[in-house]
Structures are given as structure tokens and as C-alpha cells.
Structure 1
Amino acid sequence: MAHDSARIDSRGGHKGTLESGRNLLADVSLPAAIIKQSPLAHNLVWMQHFAEHHQAHLAPHGKTTMTPELFRRQLEAGAWGITLATLPQCRAAFAEGVERLLLANQLVGRANMAIAADLIRAGAELYVTVDSVENATQLGEFFSAAGLELLTLVEIGVDGGRTGCRSDEDTLTLARKIAKQPGLVLAGLEGYEGVVHGDDPIAGIRAYAQRMVANAEALASEGLIGVEQPIITASGSAWYDLIAEEFRDAGLQGHFAPVLRPGCYVVHDHGIYREAQQGVLSRRPDLHEGLRPALEVYAQVQSLPEPGMAIVALGKRDIGYDLPPEALARYREGGSSDGVLGVDGWKVVKQMDQHTFIELPTGEHDIQVGDIVAFGASHPCMTFDKWRQIHLVDDQLQVVESWETRF
């Protein structure tokens, strides 16, 4: 687990989060995960505007960051709610003031049902997904006995994918079961297009969204919906533009509220989502500039054991490794944000738990032990969960705030 940089008192206990005003290059124990203030502000506004332009709500997937301060900023920017992946995550978000929770997962197990019941009693507006009659029966029995009603969304799946009903017939059968089940209220449909694959993924994802719309219309026409404003929700962080367009163009407004659930947008990345964003912009040139990467991990050169190699005190416990981290910039310890040194030609060739091996270009002599290197990550979900504290920094790499995560 990556350490944080909270102060430790003489008895070994944490005294709290360090005050702002520290310089990342001089005053913070490294490695450290940071979020740059300006790109973050841009991304919050950009995605909220995108959702509103497509007549959709935004319920960002909170599992990406599990950082209450980011939840608050997303809600303040206009988000409809926060999506989570587990009941403990929902409980943590609710404890931090998030009242509308979307569990983009099946609710199974009586211990998890008990957490959900406690949240509902406490005033949470909680939505969960269901994809089987068996699960619907279990939920109905539990919540009926508890004297509660659970808002449920039928999940639409695909062959060979993850969870979700595989056929329209299964969807309709399940919806009928939910509508008759005491303790349950059918509140709409949920899906995830990221499991759609094939030779033409764009066509496949559009077809998937159209299938969701057709199912929503079928459930509504049969009178199975149990709420005034049902929702239809999908969209991860890669194909949100296609889902938003299909939901908007289906004319659902007034019947179903479209809800988009990207999570990685808030800090973006330097890997798979940077590539995905290039795809979005190629399909939608009207969007002009897209999202900006805001999440980086700073670490120090630890050893220069032989010519052409540097060992950095950063490893798989500190940064996501779906793709090798990318060296972005280098600084002298104690220097200023203006004193950027080169990393051209640097190549990550190996990572261990807490070491990264850098192959240096021929003739690289400027590097020193103690130099600070900024790295970009691929897949922010797998970077955030390694940290208990994230630092918000300004353009001069001064720490503005330090935030706790809730993993």
C-alpha cells in the first residue's frame, strides 16, 4: 500500500492531514499521487456540459476515485448522483453526503442487503441492478420483510459479456417479476457498453444502446414501471459519446431520464483513456478540446547502478500498470516548477512492487539521484486505490489541499 504524508506524532499516531502551502518538490514525502487543479476544474465543467447538451443526467462512477472531495465537486458541478460498485462504497459515499446512489451491480447477500436497508432508512435514494428472477425473489423477500421498497433496474447484458439479461425475453420476464414482487419497485434499465466487442465496436455499441431503448419502451408500454421518472443508464469512460447520442436521439425525454456514468473523466489519464478520448474527438470534432489529464504520481530517482539505467522509487503498489507509466517531466529536488528537465527517450522497461526500471537514452548524463520524476498513469481506477491520501496542487506545484480516499 502506498503511504500517505500525514504527520505522525511522538506516539506513532496520525495527527491529521498536513496543511496546504507545501511545495511538492521540497516538502512532501515521495512517492505521492497528485491531482492538478486546473485540468480538474476543466474536466468537471467539460463533462457536465457534455451531459446537459445531450439532455442527460450525469452520475459519475465513484469507484474510480473513492474520494469524497471529488464527489462533492462533481455534485456541485451539477451531477445527478454518484455511481458505486459495492455496498460498502455506497455506505462510505452516503456518510460523506451523497444522497442519490446508483449501485451498478447486482445486490446479493443478506449482509449487503442489510447495508442497503440501513441506507434507505437513513434517507438514501438507492438504485440497484437485477438480472435474474432468483435475485429478484431474494431481494423482494428481504425488503418486503423489512417494510421497505427497493428501486431496481433491470440490467441488459450481451452474450459472452459480464452480467445482465442476455435476451429481450429474459428482460421482459424479469421486469414482470419485479413489478409483482412486494418490496421491489421497477425504476428503469441499466447497462454497460464496455463489454460489447466485435469487428465493428462502434456499430455494436450503437446497436446495444438501441436495444436498451427498445426494451425500455416495451416495459413502459406494458405498465411495468413503478416510478414517475424512470431512468435508462449506461456509459463508461470510453464510449460515452455514442451512448449519449443514441439516448438523446431516441426521444426518451419525458418518459425515461438518460443517465451517463463515466468515472475516469474527472482526472482522465495518459494511457487507455487518452486514446479513447482521441476516438471521441475524431467522431465528434464539434467538441473541440476534450478532457485533460490531471492525475500524476511523483517519485524520486533512487539509484543509478549502471550506465543507461535509472531505478525510480515507484512501483506497482504506487501506480496503475495496465500500461507502463509514462515519464512526463523531471525536476531537481527543492527546485521550482519552472525548472523542468528532460525525459526524452526515457523508457520504462520493468516494474516491481516498489521499483521502476528506466532505460535511459545513450549519453544521458544530466540525471542525479534524488531527481523527482512526474509519471502519468493508465487507468486511474488502478492508481487511486493504491493511495489513502491525494494531493491537489496548483500550477506551481504547491499543495492546495490534501484529500483522503475511502477505499
Structure 2
Amino acid sequence: MNTNSLTKHQSNRIYDSFNHKSIGQKAKIYPINQHAPQSIPHENATLPLASINQHDLTNNLDWMQNFADHHNVKLCPHGKTTMTPHFFEQQLSNGAWGITVATPAQAEVAAMAGAKNVIMANQLVGMANMQRVLDLIKQYDLNFYCCVDSSVNILQLDTFFGHTNQTLNLLIEFGVTGGRCGCRTEEQVQSLAKQISDSKALKLKGIEVYEGVIGGDNAEGDIRAFLSKTLQLAQTLRENGWITTLPLVTGAGSAWYDVVAETFANLTDYFAVIRPGCYAIHDTGIYAQSQDQVMQRAQNNQGYACDLGGDLSSALEVWAYVISRPEPNKAVIGLGKRDVAFDAGLPIVERVYRNGEEFNVGDIEATAIMDQHMFVSIDADSPLQVGDMIAFSTSHPCLTFDKWRTIAVVDEQYCVTEWVSTYF
């Protein structure tokens, strides 16, 4: 079997799964009988499980969309956080311009969820990947963009797409020394722009950046300067005729989206797009800290985040049982590395239940995690016992989502309203 037919076979298999056609594949959404709701605290669902509170999710989608609209920038959230079409659909119906992805496979899921604009904030490398993107553009009439930062990659793309009737939209990635991908100098950007302009199969649309790799004591100032340079560079490319449409400029992860939106706000000579991803789910760890900094910057600079009202709230929880209490100060939870993120801090205990009722067990804290077990420290006289249920919040939702094939959507009473599928 050749590479292209394999790619199409894989594509069809995913497509059939998404549309409930493939036997043995999970459906996109499993609705719940509203007359017999699955109450997690009352043990009507098997544990461990991951849940998304729909009220918090809706709040987050509204908050960020309003933030983007106020600054007159387009919102193209990164889909890698959830890879859940049901949530993509909610983001798009709520006003998102498109979906950002990192791979052709992710682009396919975004397209199947209804996204007409997809930014692959990454380089498109490899013939099979190029073929997959070509098929997606044709099948879904997709407005697709990908990044380039090398002459070699441009030549590869030109060779492949030059044998098709399809023009590929490109964004030159502009980076910083010591960062991730991206041209390190303005001269490199201009050289690539000239090379793209000589191709009939490729079309330069703008510049993509990822400011999240800029750190240090003067990170905010350095990021603002970097973004200003990006705007100047995009304008230079247009003046030289290498960009023939309104230049698309895009940046913003989930930590500095406010600075990017402020820098790109209300620009008439550019098409500005921000790409935060984790805001939809949020967390009680690294992104909660980042959002605190967003709100602090808003207070210091009279930014819109404080005027908007409300804030982002953590929507994700992972539920599990106490399965052992082998020592007075130690309990073991049926939850492990296969179930929850642990790269940015251990899960945080939010609530404990017994017989459907929340109760206080005193101080309790996760201390270590293994594949299928997590250890918590407790007071020796704590009433916690085997069979008690614990709801944990997490840090870094991306690395919790990718551990689950189905995730429960719950109401404010923690009753499951539907099960949704992830597509990692």
C-alpha cells in the first residue's frame, strides 16, 4: 500500500468514527436519559472519570470571546488542549473565527467539527502530511494556513503543491534566539518571503509568532517589543509586494494573550488573530497563575480584563475513590499518571463525598503519583476511609484530556448530561 492510499484510509477511518458510521468506533456524543441522570457523587458513574462543568465552560468561552471582540481581533483557539469536536463546535458557534492545530490529524478533526479557517501553527513537513492537508482543503473547502521558517521546507512544499491545482497559504514563523521554531532575523524572513513570491503554488499570507518562549524579568516589555517588530516586518513584506492581501498577524498562547490582543487591537492595516487554547478549560495551577498575572497587568495598565467582569474558572475535574488507607497518615487513591496530568504539579483535592454528601476530612494533599495510584497525606484522626470519593482539580489541562477517550459533561449538581469523545 502506498503512502497516499494509507493516508486516505486513515482519514476515512477517522471520518467514519466521527460520523458514527464505523462499527466498534465510539460516537461523538453519548446523550443521557434526563429522567435517570447519572449523579457522580451518588455513584451512578464508574470511576475514575474526568468531567467538564458546562457552566464553567460556557463562562470561559463567553469571557474570552468578549475579550477578543473588544480588541477587534479574531479568536482562533488552539484545539490541542481538548481535541474534542463537541467543544470545538461550541467555540465556533460562540464566535471563534477558526481553530488552531499542531498537526494534519488535528486539522482533520477541526474541519470535521465545522471549522472553515484552520491555522496549523507548525511546519508542514513530509509528503504524506502534505497529501492529507491537500485532501482536507479539497474535501472541506478549508481555508488552511501553515508555518514555514526554512528555504528547504518552502522548496518541499512548492514541489508537492506545484503538481496540484491547489494553492497553499503560508505564514512565515518569526521566532527569537533560544526559542522554538521560527526565523531568528528579519533578513531571514524577507528572504523566505521573496522565495515564496516566486512560487505559483504557494501564497504568503502573513507572519505567525509564539511569544510564550520569551521569559525573564522584563518578559512583558520584551514581548511587546517583539510584537511591534512583527507588525513592522509584516508591513515591510506587504510594501515589497510579497504579501498581496491584508497581512495576517497571529500570536498568543494562553499566558500572554492580553499583551498580544492589546498590541494587535483595532488595527486596520492587518488581519489580527489570537490563539489561546487552555482558557476554555482553564485550571487551578499554571494557567490560574497566568490568569492572575493577566488580571494584575489589567489593573496596572487599565486593561479591559478588569472591566469585562467575572473571570475564567476551572472546568475540569477528575474523580476517583479512596482504595486503601494503609497507614494513619496515608491514603491511596485509584487515580494515576494514566488518568491525570502531573507535569505541572499534582492534582488538588476540591471535595470529598460519602453516600452522595460532601463532608470535611481535614487537611488532605496529594504527595506522589504512580501509573494507577496516587498517595495523599491526611491527619491521623481523619475520617477518610476506603470507598470515599474525591473530586480533584488539575494543572495543565492539555495533559489530562489526552488520557481520556470519553469525558463527562456535568451540570452544577455534578450530574452527567452527556459523554463526549476526544480525538487524540
TM (norm. structure 2) is 0.88
* 1:145 alignment partner in structure 2: 163
Alignment correspondent of 2:297: 283
**Post-superposition CA distance 1:151-206 (Å, at most 9, x none):** 00000111011100000000111111111112100011101011112221111111
* Superposed counterparts of 1:63-212, under 5 Å: 63-122=80-139, 123-212=141-230
Q: Say if 2:39 is the partner of 1:23.
A: yes
Instruction: State the 1:92 CA deviation.
Output: 2.0
Of residues 303, 312, 315, the one that matches 2:324 is: 303
How far, CA to CA, are the matches of 1:263 and 1:82 in structure 2?
Answer: 9
- Residue equivalent to 1:387: 404
User: Is 1:325 matched up with 2:341?
Assistant: no
3-state SS, counterpart of residue 265 of structure 1: helix
Deviates more, 1:155-164 or 1:96-105: 96-105
Per the alignment, do residues 343 and 60 of structure 1 end up closer, same or farther by CA in structure 2, a change over 3 Å counting? farther
Shift in Å, 1:37: 1.4
Residues in 1 aligned to 2:360 and 2:187: alpha-carbon distance in whole angstroms? 59
| Distance (whole Å) between structure 2 residues aligned to residue 385 and residue 341 of structure 1 | 31
Q: How far apart, in 2, do the equivalents of 1:343 and 1:46 lie?
A: 35
Any gaps of 5 or more consecutive residues in structure 2?
Answer: 1-22
Q: Take 1:223 and 1:379, find their aligned partners in 2: how far apart are those partners?
A: 42
The percent identity for this pair of structures is 44
Distance 1:295 1:261, change over 3 A: same
How much does 1:13 deviate? 6.2
Match of 1:368 in 2: 385
Please say if residues 320 and 380 of structure 1, whose CA atoms lie closer than 8 Å, have aligned partners that are also in contact: yes
Tell me if the contact between 2:365 and 2:376 (Cα under 8 Å) persists in the aligned partners.
yes
- Please tell me whether residue 294 in structure 1 is matched to residue 315 in structure 2: yes
Paired amino acid for 1:19: I
Q: Please list the CA deviations of residues 94-131 of structure 1 after superposition, one character each: whole Å capped at 9, or x if unmatched.
A: 12322211100000000100001101111111100000
Could you tell me how far apart the structure 1 residues matched to 2:293 and 2:223 are? Answer: 14
The one-letter code sitting in structure 1 at the alignment partner of 2:334 is A
Q: Matches of 1:183 and 1:97 in 2, distance apart?
A: 26
- 1:220-369 equivalences under 5 Å are 220-226=238-244, 228-248=245-265, 252-253=267-268, 255-285=269-299, 286-288=304-306, 289-322=310-343, 323-332=345-354, 334-335=355-356, 339-342=357-360, 344-364=362-382, 366-369=383-386
Task: Give aligned pairs, total.
Answer: 387
Structure 2 contact 328–379 (Cα < 8 Å) conserved = no
Q: Report the secondary structure of 1:169's partner residue.
A: helix
Provide the rounded CA distance (Å) in 2 between the counterparts of 1:18 and 1:38. 17
Report the secondary structure of 1:373's partner residue.
strand
Answer yes or no: is 1:52 the counterpart of 2:69.
yes
Native 8 Å contact 1:188 1:225 kept in 2: yes
Q: What TM-score comes out, normalization by structure 1 length? A: 0.92
Structure 1: gaps (5+ residues): 1-11
The 1-side partners of 2:366 and 2:114 are apart by: 41
Within 2, Cα distance between the matches of 1:148 and 1:89? 20
Cα offset, 1:386, TM superposition: 0.3
- SS of the aligned residue for 1:145 comes to coil
The Cα RMSD (Å) is 1.6
